[in-house]
Amino acid sequence: MGNDMPHSQTEEQLRKALQDAQASNAKYEQAVSMISDILWRYDVNTKGEYVGSYISPVADRMLGLPVGTIGDSFEKYFSYVHPDDLPLVQETLSEAIRKRENDKTVEYRLRKADGATLWVQSKFSVHGRFSVYGTARDITQQRQAEVALLESAKKYRQLVDTANESIIVAQDGLLKFVNPMTLGLLGVDSEQELIDRPFPEFIHPDDRSMLVENHRRRIANEAFPPRYAFRVVARDGIVKWVEINAALIEWQGKPATLNFLTDITEHKLAEVALQESEERFHTIFENSSAARAIIERDTTISMVNKEYCKLGLFEKKDVIGISWTSQIPPEDLGRLLEYNRKRLIDPKSAPYKYEFKFYRKDGKILNCLMSVGVIPTTQQIICSFTDITERKETEDVLRRQNEPLQTILDNIPVTVDITDKISNEEALSGHLGEPNA
């Protein structure tokens, strides 16, 4: 209508934002495939029922499976959880969803393709109302290290020297033991450069007071989160993100902490890139001049902008989490569901734009034109709605006005005689030349 140009510009901005998001997601996938943790997302609907998930390809590598075996299937992933541990895993996840809990942790065993068993620690939190985000880390070496520490100092030393995590013993604020991975993390050449040095020296200034306080609380056996992230500064000045998992131990007859540090720098950088891309997309989405909604595979509405609310006289709380099918009259619903199903399978197999009727909050039915796209990485449907009610009503008025004339035209008998062209022209000329005849 009158704002076609701004709408077109906004469409282009939204497409560009989606392209940026997809490019960023591709970089994110590449980054997460290079780290050792499994990253996962578990989605539920408003009833708490499972509707979708994401599992990073690291799961296949960790289990010794061909790439793509697990895919995004939690059913397949759970089939590799040790049967004795599976009920605990499922109950912990269900309880977190029911109670909307954060920082849940569960440790369990996985059975690899070759029959070997490994221990993993999964940490997760519920975000919003519908998604659980978590990680699964191989802690087999950590478990073995704990056992080895009790059984044999020699075996323990051999194990920690070959571990792929940094292992540090801190006591009285000083470093008392480090393994070879710690040397690489901090950019030093020998253990002697670290032993008996104050550990805060290697912590980023902004994180130093937090780490010192957490160390004090652990020594005092006070309650606080067992795992958290902070930054270290290597000798060459490079800042790295690590995640710590620590335990209170006794070292040479005195309390100390046994600390496992995992380098999560790449993971942090990937998170920042993805977050920046999502923030740009959300800004354009919310401020678009067109009514827009994002619909999940199960037809649940997960996001709408203010123009959508204006179109339907809704507030966001009225529609988020409900099925968009409740806003469509029955005569249009089957067709739209089939179109959307086809677009999810193959975007070229169904029209890009559909006309349909739409229930407003006050019960009025609008005629709308909907443009539909699919976000490949999440398989969500992004819709743009245009109110064409006024246009359709105008078309109906014009059609009714033209019906009498069309009826007359349809009923005029028409006889067409085909004669010699020259004779017709001569007859016409003679007729025109004799006006009084």
Q: Report strand pairing: 301-304 vs 227-233.
A: unpaired
Which DSSP helix (H) or strand (E) runs through 50?
Answer: strand 50-55
* Last residue within a domain, chosen from 97, 113, 138: 138
Over 90: is that where the pLDDT of 11 sits? no
Over 50: is that where the pLDDT of 154 sits? yes
Q: Flag whether 352 is in a domain.
A: yes
More confident residue, 433 or 11: 11
Closest CA to 179 of 200, 199, 195: 195
Q: Flag whether 16 is in a domain.
A: no
Query: 69 and 116 share a domain?
Result: yes
Over 70: is that where the pLDDT of 369 sits? yes
Over 80: is that where the pLDDT of 405 sits? no
Provide the number of structural domains found in the chain.
Answer: 3
More confident residue, 208 or 219: 208
Count how many Cα atoms sit within 13 Å of the Cα of residue 74 in the half-sphere of its side chain.
Answer: 18
CA distance 77 to 329: 40
Helices (H) and strands (E) in the chain, counts: 14, 15
Query: 302 and 380 share a domain?
Result: yes
| Amino acid letter, residue 203 | I
Query: 244 and 166 share a domain?
Result: yes
Over 70: is that where the pLDDT of 339 sits? yes
Over 80: is that where the pLDDT of 21 sits? no
Residue 398 confidence (pLDDT): 78
Q: Which residue's entry shows tokens 């005029």?
A: 412
Which pLDDT band, with edges at 50, 70 and 90, does 5 fall under?
very low
Residue 73 confidence (pLDDT): 92
* 96 CB-near residues (< 8 Å, 6+ apart): 104, 124, 125, 126, 132
Which pLDDT band, with edges at 50, 70 and 90, does 382 fall under?
confident
Residue 34 confidence (pLDDT): 62
Over 70: is that where the pLDDT of 404 sits? no
* Last residue within a domain, chosen from 263, 298, 324: 263
Averaged confidence pLDDT in the chain = 81
Query: 44 and 61 share a domain?
Result: yes
Over 90: is that where the pLDDT of 204 sits? yes
Angle at alpha carbon of residue 223, lines to 218 and 225, rounded to 5°: 85
Which pLDDT band, with edges at 50, 70 and 90, does 89 fall under?
very high
Query: 247 and 338 share a domain?
Result: no
The neighbour count for residue 362, using CB atoms within 10 Å, is: 7
Query: 147 and 237 share a domain?
Result: yes
Residue 321 confidence (pLDDT): 92
Range with the lowest mean pLDDT among 13-22, 282-291, 421-430?
Answer: 421-430
* Last residue within a domain, chosen from 108, 138, 168: 138
Q: Flag whether 411 is in a domain.
A: no
Whether residue 259 contacts residue 167, with contact meaning beta carbons closer than 8 Å, is answered with yes
CA distance 68 to 151: 39
* Eight-class DSSP state of 302: E
Query: 113 and 167 share a domain?
Result: no
Residue 340 confidence (pLDDT): 82
Residue numbers of the domain that contains 203: 142-263
Query: 154 and 123 share a domain?
Result: no
Residue 120 confidence (pLDDT): 94
Query: 173 and 113 share a domain?
Result: no
Residue 434 confidence (pLDDT): 45
Query: 180 and 204 share a domain?
Result: yes
Q: Flag whether 7 is in a domain.
A: no
Range with the lowest mean pLDDT among 104-113, 193-202, 406-415?
Answer: 406-415
More confident residue, 275 or 198: 198
Whether residue 134 contacts residue 38, with contact meaning beta carbons closer than 8 Å, is answered with no
Over 80: is that where the pLDDT of 419 sits? no
Angle at alpha carbon of residue 166, lines to 163 and 172, rounded to 5°: 130
Closest CA to 233 of 265, 256, 210: 265
Which pLDDT band, with edges at 50, 70 and 90, does 436 fall under?
very low
The neighbour count for residue 141, using CB atoms within 10 Å, is: 19
Query: 149 and 171 share a domain?
Result: yes
Runs of H (alpha helix) within 128-226: 140-151, 153-161, 180-186, 205-219
Over 90: is that where the pLDDT of 119 sits? yes
Query: 318 and 212 share a domain?
Result: no
Q: Flag whether 255 is in a domain.
A: yes
Over 70: is that where the pLDDT of 288 sits? yes
Residue 437 confidence (pLDDT): 38
| Amino acid letter, residue 251 | W
Residue 435 confidence (pLDDT): 44
Cα separation values, 348 from 312, 376, 382, Å:
29, 14, 16
Q: Flag whether 1 is in a domain.
A: no
The neighbour count for residue 364, using CB atoms within 10 Å, is: 11
Q: Report strand pairing: 131-138 vs 38-44.
A: antiparallel
Residue 196 confidence (pLDDT): 93
More confident residue, 155 or 126: 126
Q: Flag whether 17 is in a domain.
A: no
Whether residue 194 contacts residue 203, with contact meaning beta carbons closer than 8 Å, is answered with no
**The domain spanning residue 60 has which CATH number?**
3.30.450.20
* 235 CB-near residues (< 8 Å, 6+ apart): 186, 187, 188
Q: Flag whether 316 is in a domain.
A: yes
pTM confidence score: 0.40
Q: Which residue's entry shows tokens 């409900």?
A: 322
Provide, rounded to the nearest whole percent, the portion of the chain with pLDDT above 90.
Answer: 24
